[in-house]
Amino acid sequence: MYYDGLGTQPDTKKGVAFMKQIVTSRCPKAGHLRFAAAYNLGRAHYEGQGAPRSDTEAERLWLFAADNGNPKASVKAQSILGVYYSTKEPKELGKAVTRDAEAALECLHQAAQRGNVYAQAHLVEYYYRNKLYTKAASFSKRVADYSNIPRIAALTDCLPTYIAKGMAIAAFYHARCLHLGLGLNKDEVAARRYYSRACELDPATAAELHAEVIEQRI
């Protein structure tokens, strides 16, 4: 609550201090909380809020919180590690997940239903690439039109960086649907508006997707 300012004034340093107490506590009653505390402490180091900015320390804490995939551990830590390894440069996909399209799609559905915007964006991409244009068009608009990223981050416990990235992906694919008339009526004016929104949300992601369009004509 202190870290995210939920019900009180934000105080990230105070929040981090409590997280550390739980992570290092030997009290049996605190045992089930250690995974959640480690996940959030990893967030603090990744975001550089209330703790020194450190990808290495964030990864270490997330690995502890994930506990080798233990279902009683932090599912959020397991999820963020998958995202972290698949998006860092160079990518470490071997650590992220073995290749299994059906399982990956099911994971995306479950994460999207829990409000994970980054997962929702990749579902949009899946629908588009598999020519399910009606689904891609309607779902992409919903995700692209989200507002108030800090509030979404607080409600879903997702990193703001990935929320913005997810919204940018959705905005880009919605723009493609509008530009080409896929799954909805063609509207070039609206398409330009959504292309611009993608660039505003995450310029690097928008540029990467644009380059892929030029190369592959998706």
The tokens for 66 are 């994930």
Average pLDDT score, the chain: 87
Has residue 217 got a pLDDT over 90? Answer: no
**Per-residue pLDDT reduced to its tens digit, 157-201:** 788 998 999 999 999 999 999 999 999 999 999 999 999 999 999
Percent of the chain with pLDDT strictly greater than 90: 54
Query: Is-contact 123 115, C-beta < 8 A?
Result: no
pLDDT at 138 over 80: yes
pTM over 0.85: no
Burial 149-170 (b: 16+ CB within 10 A, else e): beebbeebbbbeebbbbbbbbb
Q: How confident is the model at residue 39 (pLDDT cuts 50, 70, 90)?
A: very high
Asked if pLDDT for residue 146 goes beyond 90, the answer is: yes
pLDDT at 93 over 70: no
